[in-house]
Amino acid sequence: MFPTRLQLNKKTWDRLQYLQTRTKLTPNVTARLAITLALRDIRTATINIKKPEQVHVINRDTLFGEHEDAYAAMIKQFCSEQEVTADINDVVRSLIDNGLHKIGHLKTFSDLRTVF
C-alpha cells in the first residue's frame, strides 16, 4: 500500500529530529507515535494535499518497520471512514504533522505518559 519512499516535509523532519534530542526516540518511532495519535483523534485529522517545497525522503521500511501491515490497515480504515481519496503519501505526511502537533510539547521521554 505504501510507496517504497515517503516524502516528508523538511519542517516535519526537523521537528522529528528536535524531538529526538529531547526524548531520545528516533524519528521513525516518533513518527509512528504521531500517526497513532492522529488516528486516535480523527476529528482533528485533516489531509493537506499541498506538496512540500523541501522534502526529506524516508524509506518505508525504516518508518514502519515490521508493523507496516498494521499501519496500512489503520490508515486504510481511516481513509475509508473519512472518505479520503488523497494520495497515500499526502495522508501519511498529514497524519504525522497532525500527531506531531499533539506531542510537540514533550521535553523528556517520561512526558509521553501524559499523552496516552
Q: Which helix (H) or strand (E) holds 102?
A: helix 88-103
CA 39, distance to chain mean position in Å, is 10
Alpha-carbon distance of 103 to 109, in angstroms, equals 11
pLDDT of residue 44 exceeding 60, the answer is: no
What is the tens place of the pLDDT at every residue in 105-116?
Answer: 777 777 777 776
Q: What is the mean pLDDT of the chain?
A: 87
Query: What size, in residues, is the chain?
Result: 116
Query: What pLDDT is stored for residue 64 in this prediction?
Result: 93
Whether 13 and 56 have beta carbons less than 8 Å apart is answered as yes
pTM: 0.87
Mean pLDDT within 28-49: 84
Query: What pLDDT is stored for residue 28 in this prediction?
Result: 94
Q: Which domains does the chain have, with CATH numbers?
A: 5-114 (1.10.1220.160)
pLDDT of residue 45 exceeding 70, the answer is: no
